[in-house]
Amino acid sequence: MARIDGLDDAQAGFVKRLVFRSAARRTGAVPSPLRIMARNPAVMWAAGLFEVGFDRARTLEPRHKDLACLKAASMIGCVF
């Protein structure tokens, strides 16, 4: 459980709801870190641009990127 409550859909604006819907389509549910980052728009957009850039990177094969993400997530204890 996070110390900071994330934004509900009712609190989020139109663009943030679109971002939530897109994230839910990719992961099955809206991740709570995204809801927390949505409280600060600059942080949310920076994280989103990083994700887009990471997805478009062509230096590594996709399976190697997935393996690196899984290893990094397991090292920091991230459930996503």
Domain membership flag for residue 21? yes
Residue 23 inside a domain? The answer is yes
Domain presence at residue 40: yes
The single-letter DSSP state of residue 7 is P
pLDDT at 80: 65
- The pLDDT, as a whole number, for residue 1 is 64
Query: How many domains, in total, are found in the chain?
Result: 1
CB 13 within 8 A of CB 48: no
pLDDT of residue 79: 72
Asked whether 28 and 80 are in contact (CB, 8 A), the reply is no
Compute the Cα dihedral for 64, 66, 70, 72 and give only its sign: positive
Question: Per-block average pLDDT, block size 10, for the chain (80 residues)?
Answer: 80 89 88 89 90 83 87 85
Parent domain of 23? 14-76
Q: Give the model's pLDDT for residue 42.
A: 93
Amino acid at 75: M
Asked if the structure places residue 26 within a domain, the reply is yes
